[in-house]
Structure formats: C-alpha cells, structure tokens
Amino acid sequence: MSRSTLNSLLLFGLPALFIATFFVVPLVNSVAVSLGVPEFTLAAYRRLVDVPVYRAVYGRTLRVALIVTLVCVVVGYPCAYYISTLGRRGRIVAIGLIALPFMLSVLVRNYVWMVLLQDTGLVNRLLIGAGWIETPVRLMHNELGVLIAMANMLLPYVIFPVLGALLAIPPELRTASASLGANGARTFWRVTLPLTSAGTAAGALLTFIVGLGFYITPAMMGGAREMMVANLIAFNVRDVLNWTLAFSLSTSLLASTIVLYFAYRALLPRVATLQAI
C-alpha cells in the first residue's frame, strides 16, 4: 500500500468510522428497535396513532411549526424586501443584525425571552405602566410564548432566501414593467412576487423542517402542556425509559423531515434557475 493511499484512508476512513460508530449504528439500531426487531412489528407506531396524548403532541408539533412558518413568512418577507431596497452599506448592517443572534447560544436567547415575557417581565411591566392592562398577560408558559420565541429564532431562515431571490432580480425588470404601464403595486404582484416565490417557498420549508425539531424552546417557554415531539422523545428516554416508543417517535420525525427535505431539494433548482437569469 502506497503512502498516499494510506494517508487518504486515514483522512477519510477515520471520520467515516467515527460516523458509522456513533451515528449510523445507533440510527439503524433505533429504527430496528422501533420495529421490534427481531420480530418486526409496527406496534410502537400503532401506539403513536392510537394513544390520544401522542396524537395530540404530534398535532401540536405540526401546528406550532406551521404557525411559526406562516409568521416567519409574513414578517420575514417585508423585512427582506426592505433590506433589498437599502444601499450596500445598509444591507450589510441589516444582514449582520439578523445574523448576530445566531452567535448566541439557544439557551441564552430563551432566557432573554423569559426576561421579556414573564409575568413580571419587561413587556408586562411596560403594558401595566402604560395603563393598558391591570394584571399581567400570560405571554409564556403557554403556546404563545413558544410561538414568539420560535418565530424569532427561525426568522432568518425565511429572510435570507427571500433576500437572495429579491437581489437576484435584475433591476431593469421593474423598470421594464413600469414602462409597460404597471404601477408599483402591480409590478410587485406580477413580477417581484412570482420571481421570489420559489425562494420564499424554500425558506418556508426550511423553517418548517427546523421548527419540527425544536426542543429547548418549548421546554423553556412552554408549560407542561406545550410539549412537542422532541420533548416527548426526551421524556420517554429519560423519565419513563420507554425506548421503543422514543425510537418510533424519532424515526417518524426523521422520516417526515426527510420527505420535506426532498420537497425542499425539488424547489432548489427552480430557485437556482431564476437566479441564473
């Protein structure tokens, strides 16, 4: 064996071995356990469907991810649009401000939200101080708190793809639209929006996928009832030691994520071709 093949074997072989040992094997194992190997039964999956609590957690997870995605699109698109109208410098500053929180740990960001949203938090004190309310409004330990914090954390997943799509539109397309008799609003509906729809869809799908797997935020911002799938998995692993159920939960979550990921991949070429023009 030559020296260079040995080197490349080490270079790629070791990480491959590492991933196989600590990632693929446990993954395969968890799928196998969830299927009741060696017998092969779908009993664990049937429980997911049959037991109302599990159904509820699944339903909530999908609902929360969906609402958060909608909020992110509704808030993120105008943000991205505004940023696209800024000059070069303003754009860089805005992108920096949006990316900045990514450098903070999720824990820290959740604590910040707790400081803001708890009964004695900044928001409630301001509202009471302004005389708009008398008793604090519950802004956390419920689904609202989870939605607010998750939407905040997932916003960049919409803003960046939409911004990319907006900046890829040649400026003279809008000028052309104006010369053909379209005012600003109609140019937006007929030119800008269609040319950013693929980018927006990609951003929304990404938000939804990432949103499905949220764990810390529901645990910190929600109450006991705001459990999402990831929390239910942890609960089954740590507290009740029902590994079969935990594995079936995680396998089904993984499967839905993979399906969504391929949907996202199918969108990407459309985004790319639009940007190539």
Partner 1 sequence: MTSSIDRPGTANGEVEVRGLAKRYGAVDALQPTSFRVTGGTFVTLLGPSGSGKTTLLKLIAGFEEPSAGSVHISGHAITDMAPYRRNVGFVFQQYALFPHLTVAQNVSYPLEMRRMPRVAIDKAVANTLELVRLSDLARRRPSQLSGGQQQRVALARAIVFRPPVLLMDEPMAALDKRLREEMQLEIRGLQRTLGITTISVTHDQSEALVMSDRILVLRDGMLQQSGTPEDLYHNPRNEFVASFVGESNILRGRVENGPGGPSMALGDGLGIPLGAPAPPAGAEIVCVLRPEAIEIGGEPSVDHFETVGEVVDRIFCGDVVRVRLRLVGAPETTLVAKMPTQRRLVFVPDTGTMVRVAWRTEELIVIERH
Least distance in angstroms from the C-beta of 201 to partner 1: 14
* Residue closer to partner 1, measured from CB, 22 or 189: 189
Instruction: At 84, give phi and psi (nearest 5°).
Output: -65, -20
* Residue closer to partner 1, measured from CB, 135 or 179: 179
The answer to whether 156 and 98 are in contact (CB under 8 A) is yes
Rounded CA separation 57/52 (Å): 9
DSSP string, 161-214: HHHHHHHTS-HHHHHHHHHTT--HHHHIIIIIHHHHHHHHHHHHHHHHHHHHT-
Binding pattern for the stretch 159-188 against partner 1, x by CB under 8 A and - elsewhere: -----------x-xx-xxxxxxxxx--x--
269 contributes a contact to partner 1 by CB under 8 A: no
Binding-site member from 191, 237, 260, 263 for partner 1 (CB under 8 A): 191
Show Cβ contacts of residue 141 under 8 Å, excluding neighbours closer than 6 positions.
221, 222, 223, 226
| Burial classification of residue 210, based on how many CB atoms lie within 10 Å of its CB (0-12 exposed, 13-18 middle, 19 or more buried) | middle
Least distance in angstroms from the C-beta of 205 to partner 1: 20
* Residue closer to partner 1, measured from CB, 7 or 273: 273
Closest-CA residue to 273 (of 199, 206, 203): 199
5 contributes a contact to partner 1 by CB under 8 A: no
The stretch among 94-102, 190-198, 249-257, 259-267 that binds partner 1 (CB under 8 A) is 190-198
Binding pattern for the stretch 193-232 against partner 1, x by CB under 8 A and - elsewhere: -xx-------------------------------------
Binding-site member from 63, 190, 225, 265 for partner 1 (CB under 8 A): 190
Cα dihedral value 101, 107, 112, 118, nearest 10: 150
Interface ranges with partner 1 (CB under 8 A) = 170, 172-173, 175-183, 186, 190-191, 194-195, 273-274, 277
